[in-house]
Amino acid sequence: MAMTTVDRWSGRDVRALREAKRMSLRQFAKHLGISDRMVSKWEAGGDSIHPRPVNQAALDTSLAQSAPEEHARFQRIRSCTVTPAPRADYADQTRAKDDNHVRHPGDGKLMTLVDGGVFLSGPNDKPAWLPAFYIDVYPTTNADYGRFVAATGHRPPMHWTDGRCPDDLLDHPVVFVTWRDATAYAAWANKSLSSSQQWEKTARGRLGSTYPWGNAATPAKCNVRENGLGSTTPVDRYHSGTSPYGVYDMCGNIWEWCSTETDPGRYELKGSAFTSSFDRATPSAFNDASADMFDDDTGFRCATPAEDLGKLLRR
C-alpha cells in the first residue's frame, strides 16, 4: 500500500493522525515533543489552522514512521466525509463562550458545566443531589460517530451507505445504535453515557421545570410526532427549546441511551423522539430497552464528572 503524505498539515489532519495512532492528547503531544495545549489548539482549529513549519516537519516524520495499519487508519479517517463545513450560526453556537463551556479533548465535542447540588427529580419532584458534571451540548451526531468508526473500525450504523453517513445527515443525531455501541463510543472519547439523573437535571434545571424551556406545553419547541416531520433533524435546530444550561434536544428528535440500568441488561432512555407523542417528552419520564436494541429514533450523548475533566484538561 502506498504511504500517505500531507502537503500542508491542518488541525483536522493532526487529529486524524493522533486517532490513527490511537494516542491520547497527552501521549501524542509527548510523541511530538510539544505541549498538550498546542495539540488541543490545532485540533479545535480544524481546517482553518496550520502548525508552524518546524511542527509540520515533526508531523511528517511521525507519519512516515507510522506502522502500515496506522497509515491505513489515517487514510480512512482523513478521507471520511464526516466533518461538514458548519453553517455560520452553528459555528458560533459551538464555540466555547465562557468558563462553563469546554471542548472535550477526547472527541472535540462542546460540553457545558452542570453545577453540583440538589435538584428536583422525577414526576414527584423529589430532591436529589448530584456532584458537578459536564454534558454534551448536542446529541452525538453522525459526524461525531463517523470519526469514532473511522478511528476504531467499529461497526457503522445500518443505514449508512458503504459504511459512510450520507452528507445530508452529518449534523443529525446518530441512530440505529445499541447501548453497547453508545458505550463503546463513550469509552473511546474518555467519557461515559449520562446517568438518568444527570440527564434529567440538565433538562429541567435545579428548580425542576416541566420542560427544558419552562412549564408551558409547547410541542413546536421540539421534534415530536405532532409536528409531522417524520425524521431526525439537525441537532442545533430548536434554539427556543434549549434547557436552563443551554443544552439542545432534551425533548424530542431521538430517545437517548443513559447509563442507568432498570433491570439486568436493560437501560433507561430519555427525551422522547420524532416518532413519539409530545406527552412522552417530559424529562422526568423515561423509557427503557434491552442493551442490544437499536432503532431509527435512538441515539445518545455523553457526560463526564467535572473533577475528571478538570484533571484531563490540566495534564
Same domain, 154 and 273: yes
- Determine, yes or no, domain membership for 115: yes
Look at residue 81 in the predicted model and tell me its pLDDT.
43
pLDDT of 48: 81
All three cell numbers of 258, joined, read: 443513559
pLDDT for the residue numbered 86: 38
pLDDT tens digits, 77-123: 876 644 433 333 444 444 455 678 999 988 989 999 999 999 999 99
Q: Grid cell 511542527 — which residue?
A: 55
Q: Is residue 40 part of a domain?
A: yes
How is residue 306 written as a grid cell?
A: 467535572
pLDDT at 223: 98
284, 247: one domain: yes
Given 32, 62, 79, the domain boundary residue is 79
Asked whether the beta carbons of 183 and 245 are under 8 A apart, the reply is no
**What confidence tens digit (pLDDT) does each residue in 120-137 have?**
999 999 999 999 999 999
Structural domain boundaries enclosing 219:
88-314
d(CA 74, CA 82): 14
CA distances from 134 to 63, 78, 247 (A): 34, 29, 11
Dihedral sign for Cα atoms in the order 80, 83, 85, 87: positive
Joined grid coordinates for residue 128: 436529589
Q: Do both 131 and 46 map to the same domain?
A: no
pLDDT for 85 equals 36
Cα distance between residue 80 and residue 137, in whole Å: 24
52, 127: one domain: no
Shared domain for 126 and 68, answered yes or no, is no
**235 occurs within a structural domain:** yes
Kindly list the averaged pLDDT for each block of 10 residues, start to end, along the chain of length 315: 77 88 84 85 82 86 87 79 40 56 90 96 93 98 93 93 88 98 97 98 96 96 96 97 98 98 98 96 95 98 94 77
Question: Quick check: is 253 in a domain?
Answer: yes
d(CA 218, CA 198): 23
DSSP 133-186: EEEESSPPBHHHHHHHHHHH-PPPPTTSBTTB--GGGTTSBP-S--HHHHHHHH
Q: Into how many domains does the chain fold?
A: 2
**Spatial contact of 206 and 119, defined as CB atoms under 8 Å apart:** yes
- Residue 204: predicted pLDDT: 97
Predicted TM-score (pTM) of the model is 0.78
For residues 193 and 121, membership in a common domain is answered with yes
For residues 263 and 114, give the distance between their C-alpha atoms in angstroms, rounded to a whole number.
28
| Residue 5 in domain | no
Q: Which helix (H) or strand (E) holds 198?
A: helix 196-204
